[in-house]
Structure 1
Amino acid sequence: MGMQTLYQKVNADRIVRRIEELAKCSMTKKGVTRLSFSRESEMANELVAQWMQEAGMTVRRDGLNNIIGRYEGKWPDAPVLLIGSHLDSIIEAGKYDGVLGVIAAIEVIQTLYENGMRPNNPIEVIGFCDEEGARFHTTLLGSRAIAGNLREEELFAKDANGITLAEAMKEIGLDPFQYHTAARHPKTILGYLELHIEQGPILEQMNQACGVVSGIAGQSRYKFQVEGLVGHAGTVPLPLRKDALAGTAEMILAIEQIVLQYENLMATVGKLSVFPGASNVIPGLVEGTLDVRSIDDGTRRTALNRIIEECKEIAKQRGLVCEFTKVMESPAVLCSSRFIDVISSVLEERKMKSVRLVSGAGHDAMALASITDIGMIFVRCKNGLSHHPDEFVAAEDIKIGTSVLLDVALKLTS
């Protein structure tokens, strides 16, 4: 059987049905809330394990509760192709983020299995336990454990109820101090493929179902504080005020102007707290967050330095004090040129443009990039909306995306 006829056998109805079933494993009625190491995530793992078995895979969970299905190749000792995404969600998420990648990967294997096909290299499908970090505020737990980059102190991260990651792992029957057994040796891995919803509007604007990801943006997160002077709203004339909020407003507009001067750069002031926060009091203190992202680390750093300098200059002119504190920094990750080429060629075979997209959001692929080649396929989502109950991917796009994933996996393993 040729690839041409094989990819037509991808069963989109089965994928959609499974996504709907997983969406029921939720703590909330609105959207999907499935936090890691919870009753809901265990229910999801059981369903995924059952579907992996139906698709001819042997199933295990590793030392950090990643669920892994293995489909044996003609050469059992050959390096394994990993395909996967995450099964956890944020609070009141959509149905497709992460989940689509896991279910599409199972469908790829089920299509091979039902048609009696074995690749040369073994393929493993992974449902990562915690990518979002919504419970313990520690992102990419599952994929970093597999990459061997998880640190023991992270076992003591606490959730909102004061439960540590180690305690949550014990509750579901895992020994937290065996987390390092999840680590994989780079020589045993052929590469890692991830299909994911785009979470942005570009494919929809192009009227195309899929695109190839060129890399994942590096990210800097800062907290900032702007300090002025509290005063009475009715008695202090404007020229004499040291209004921390007015100064912050000018800074936010300056950040926007700086960012517009660069290609492939994003900056967001996402949270502000104003003190004392009364309608008749001039704000004396503003605390906020700054998030800066780019696929080019040099651009990100240059722009960040300019932003901080400009904000301090605005503060100085207004008689304010402005301080920035770094919270997190992760470098940009580039997808493997070999994987980009294979995905591009499959898109072109399907009469699609091999559009290259930069992922502004983080993914499990970032963590795996430290030990192996990575490749990502983005699938169009309605209005570019994600991390929201209205997140939606059309069945037709799911079929096209999964069939692209199938062809790419076959080209890499045969």
Structure 2
Amino acid sequence: MSAVSAVATDRAQADAAVVVAWCDELADITAEPGRITRVYLSPEHARVNAVVGGWMRDAGLRTWQDAAGNLHGRVDGSTADARTLLLGSHLDTVVDAGRYDGIVGVLMAIRTVARLTAAGPLPSAVEVIAFSDEEGTRFGKALLGSSAVAGVWDDGWWDLEDGDGTTLRRAFTDFGLDPESVGTAAADPSTLIGYLEAHIEQGPYLDRAGQALGVVTSIASARRFSVEAVGEARHAGGTPYERRHDALLAAAEAALAVEGICRASQHIGTVGTMTVEPGAVNVVPGLARFSVDLRGEFDEGRDRVWDAITAAFDEIAVRRGVAVEPTEVHRAPAVFCAPALMDALRTGIVSTGEAAPPALFSRAGHDAMSLGLVTDVGMLFLRNPDGISHHPDEFVAEADIALGLDALAVAVRTLTERHGTGPDGVS
């Protein structure tokens, strides 16, 4: 059965129209007129929390901002010992972003809680979290907000600086937060049922399959590197080719090696930045710096691919008479979604009329990666035509949001009824 036969309820269709209107409204909260840019601990961060907090309260949620700047909205369960199901995603963006990445998941969670609690309290508590810094746009470190909730904040991050030289610690205090209190943002794992996140797919696979919704199986294992190719700057006209140690050409070959090795091994490798010094038209480049972002479904496979890449770097370095020196700047293990949460989401999708929900590996990172350190996680993907994201053209249809709302409501009700109290988890 194709997604064409899936039909959303009237309530979901009405809620989807609200979600789309909200996404449009939040798109106007930006640091750059004409394009969406909303970064951590900025005036726009404060404004978006205020607006979304109002929508949470209108939906019957009790709200607060935690010690890391994340926005929370909560409804309590029907008993005092009821455990908590977390829902959420993020409200920050990359530079010149689309209006749905992260945002649609937060807003869908709010409407889902309002819908389910309209008939009375749920057996367990439900808490919506609008994470404050998934993208890492301002300080170069992703998942800051969800890391605080997961209780894995690293004090070494306080010295991170933005492009203006403002440290993370100073930005905290300027925003009105107390750096010494960041630990209070951590959730108590013993009180949690799990975490569900709805998100647009940042790839084309649902669109290719002609299906509106999918269940995520795991989130990419990732490593990131800063690489320097160190050669020798010399006069472009006076230096024959056999005497050149061209750092830029070595870096260019290295970038092509990343692509070739990753394509052959079915991994994902990207050289996203490159700078050259001295950067003069008549000087052989003596230094090139570039980034490598490496992702895979499994940690072991990712690491084998990196070994192959470094071997290629070594060969290029010897042949061109340069040094190619990578430094690891980020490592994240693969996160596997909990079978029980996947089953609940699958049940929700089937309830919309879709008989065979696709299972998808997420090649992009999400706040669920942090939450997966302390509780079970599950993710619902929504179709994104052509798969483009981190770009103004990203999109999700209102009809697909409606189907996602119906599926999420079934999943939340299933999990809250099954795991409202008691000490055991869901995995």
**1:340 equivalent among 339, 342, 363:** 342
The percent identity for this pair of structures is 41
Which of 330, 352, 357 is the matching residue for 2:332?
Answer: 330
Aligned-pair CA distance for 1:297: 0.5
Query: Could you tell me which of 207, 212, 236 is aligned with 1:209?
Result: 212
- Shift in Å, 1:352: 5.0
Aligned-pair distance for 1:5? 5.7
Structure 1 residue 209, shift from structure 2 partner:
1.2
CA distance in 1, matches of 2:227, 2:152: 29
Of residues 86, 92, 99 in structure 1, which corresponds to 2:90?
86
Change (3 A) 1:170 1:76: same
The Cα of 1:125 is off from its aligned counterpart by: 0.7
Over residues 302-337 of structure 1, what are the superposed CA-to-partner deviations in whole Å (9 max), with x where a residue is unaligned? Answer: 110111011211221233322222122111111112
User: Taking structure 1 as reference, are residues 5 and 277 closer, same or farther at Cα in structure 2, changes over 3 Å only?
Assistant: closer
String of CA shifts for 1:4-46, please: whole Å, max 9, x gaps. 9686465111111111111121111122111222222212111
Q: Which residue of 2 aligns with 1:357?
A: 360
Shift of 1:185: 1.1
Change (3 A) 1:262 1:111: same
Given the alignment, which residue of 291, 304, 307 partners 1:305?
Answer: 307
Distance in 2, Cα, partners of 1:242 & 1:380: 48
Change (3 A) 1:320 1:8: closer
CA displacement at 1:237 relative to structure 2: 4.0
Moved over 6 A (4+): none
Q: Report if the CA contact (8 A) 1:10-1:111 is conserved.
A: no
Alignment partner of 1:96 out of 88, 100, 109: 100
For 1:95-134, what aligned pairs fall within 5 Å after superposition? 95-114=99-118, 116-134=119-137
Q: Residue 390 of structure 1 corresponds to which residue in structure 2?
A: 393
SS at match of 1:261: helix
Q: Give SS of 1:68's match.
A: strand
Unaligned runs of 5+ in 1: none
Letter of the 1:253 counterpart: L
2:53 to 24, 49, 52: 49
**Following the alignment from structure 1 to structure 2, what is the Cα–Cα distance between the partners of residues 236 and 285?**
16
Distance in 2 (CA, whole Å) between partners of 1:273 and 1:160 is 16
2:252 corresponds to which residue? 249
User: For the residues of structure 1 that align with 2:169 and 2:117, how far apart are their CA atoms?
Assistant: 37
Distance 1:60 1:179 in 2: 14
Opposite residue 187 of structure 2, the aligned amino acid is R
Corresponding residue SS for 2:82: coil
1-side partners of 2:292 and 2:278: how far apart? 21
Q: Deviations over 1:201-256 (max 9, x none)?
A: 11111111111111111111112222333344444443453333333333332322
Q: How far apart in 2 are the matches of 1:153 and 1:242?
A: 37
Secondary structure of 2:196's partner? strand
Aligned twin of 2:423:
none
Q: Residues of 2 paired with 1:164 and 1:311: CA distance? A: 34
Whether 1:290 aligns to 2:301 is: no
Q: Distance in 2 between matches of 1:206 and 1:312?
A: 41
Q: Is the Cα–Cα contact under 8 Å of residues 32 and 91 in structure 1 kept in the other structure? A: yes
Counterpart of 1:17 in structure 2 is 21
Other-structure match for 1:64 = 68
Query: What runs of 5+ residues in structure 2 fail to find an aligned partner?
Result: 1-7, 418-427
| Structure 1 residues 133 and 253, CA gap change in structure 2 (3 angstroms) | closer
Greater CA drift, 55-64 or 348-357: 348-357
Residues 322 and 111 (structure 1), Cα distance of their counterparts in 2 relative to 1, 3 Å cut: same
Pick which of 270-279 and 80-89 moved more: 270-279
Q: What residue number does 2:316 align with?
A: 314
Partner residue, 1:197: 200
Q: Which amino acid aligns with 2:395?
A: F
CA shift, 1:196, in A, is 0.9
Task: Spell out, residue by residue over 1:105-140, the C-alpha distance to the aligned partner (whole angstroms, 9 max, x if none).
Answer: 0010121234x2432111111111221122222321
Check whether the contact 1:34–1:41 (CA below 8 A) recurs between aligned residues: yes
C-alpha contact 1:59 1:67 (8 A) present in aligned 2: yes
